[in-house]
Amino acid sequence: MWNPIAIERMRACHLDDVMRIDRLCFSTPWERAVFHAELTNLASCYLVAKIADRIVGFGGETVLLGEAHISILAVSPEWRGQKIGERLLCALLEEALRRKAHYATLEVRQSNLIAQNLYAKYGFRPYTLRPHYYTDNAEHAIVMRLDAMDTPEYRAQLQQLRNQMPDTACRTY
């Protein structure tokens, strides 16, 4: 059975659930103070994905000087495979466009092919490699970049991808 997914702005009251998911998804989770700082940073946008009032994923970005940098995207392991990460990515890209971003960047583990494929679907391409970027195992990070996201062509592509999801409302915040 398909469950409706609501995307909304992350608030301090969400941090217990966000941190639980962060610990499940990443070997070097963020400190609570980092999330608190991002929630008060006017250049940042952090979102949560909810199913029936349960937080199942989250993501965040900072938009400065025309660049949207997606800093984190996570879905609780038991909820993966339901396009929750894709909905969060879509909402972050839409917000980046509202904030006048011209391009977007992110880092992804070299071994995380599922995430790389999702990012490629949305136009991100490998840009450079950051050797030994991850402190837990010295794995390389691939920096991926989405250029010319503020063009009518990309906006149409984003709309088309959004319309292909079962629930076309990527954002509800």
CB atoms under 10 Å from CB of 141, counted, come to 18
Per-residue pLDDT reduced to its tens digit, 126-143: 999 999 888 888 899 999
pLDDT of residue 3: 66
Within 13 Å and on the Cβ side, how many CA atoms surround 173?
A: 19
Per-residue pLDDT reduced to its tens digit, 99-122: 999 999 999 999 999 999 999 999
Contact predicate 172/8, CB 8 Å: yes
pLDDT of residue 166: 72
For residue 78, indicate whether it is catalytic: no
With a pLDDT cut of 90, the percent of the chain lying above it is 83
Per the model's pLDDT, the better-predicted residue between 164 and 146 turns out to be: 146
Length of the chain: 173
Identify the structural domains of the chain with CATH numbers, from first to last: 6-164 (3.40.630.30)
4 pLDDT band, cuts 50/70/90, is confident
pLDDT of residue 149: 97
Determine which one of 119, 122, 133, 154 is catalytic.
119
Contact predicate 23/29, CB 8 Å: yes
User: Token pair 């837990």 is at which residue?
Assistant: 136
For residue 134, indicate whether it is catalytic: no
30 pLDDT band, cuts 50/70/90, is very high
Alpha carbons 149 and 102: distance in angstroms, whole number: 6
Mean predicted confidence (pLDDT) in 136-162: 94
pLDDT of residue 168: 42
Determine which one of 61, 86, 107, 122 is catalytic.
107
